[in-house]
Amino acid sequence: MRFSFSRGKLRFIDSIYLLKEIMFTIDQIKTAHEKVKTGEDFPKYIKDIKALGVKSFTTYVSDNHTEYNAVDGQFVSSPGMYEPLPIEDETNVEEFKEDLAIHQDGQTGYYRFCQDCARSGIEKWIVDLDDMTCIYYDKAGIEVLAEEIPGE
């Protein structure tokens, strides 16, 4: 067995020289996420985790646990970050759009944005790093808003 180190990732090369890359970790994602202070920081975060090998992720507003999908089909989940927030049954699209615009303008922090989402009936968002989209859904699984993620 041989090991090599390439671009910060440990690689294992077996006896027939197949290459298997070690998947990203929750700690790596957490480090990238700690740099996000407002919605303005989101595009940089997306760029950072895409470089780690993240293909998509789903974030659940209730406790902010997130499921990350890798380009190779593997996935990891993060634990919740706070006590569960109750998600409103009725979706208020206009209120959500206003809160999102304020957040993206850097006027609110991440936890406040999650509280605003819960109050507006947003259950989760799914980010697709290939399509560079973020789609928000209500409790019924209905798409509320789809956005393109801007580049840096």
Q: What is the pLDDT of residue 49?
A: 93
**What's the CATH code of the domain at 118?**
3.30.1810.10
Residue 57 belongs to some domain of the structure:
yes
User: 14-45, pLDDT tens digit by residue?
Assistant: 444 434 455 789 999 989 988 887 777 888 88
Q: Which residue would you say has higher pLDDT here, 116 or 13?
A: 116
Residue 66 belongs to some domain of the structure:
yes
User: 56-88, pLDDT tens digit by residue?
Assistant: 999 999 999 999 999 888 889 999 999 999 999
CA distance 56 to 69: 5
Q: What is the pLDDT of residue 41?
A: 82
As for how many domains the chain has, the answer is: 1
| Continuous segment of H or E residues that includes residue 111 | helix 110-120
- Write out the residue range of the structural domain in which residue 73 sits: 26-148
Evaluate whether 32 touches 129 at the Cβ level (below 8 Å). Answer: no
Residue 141 belongs to some domain of the structure:
yes
Residue 20 belongs to some domain of the structure:
no
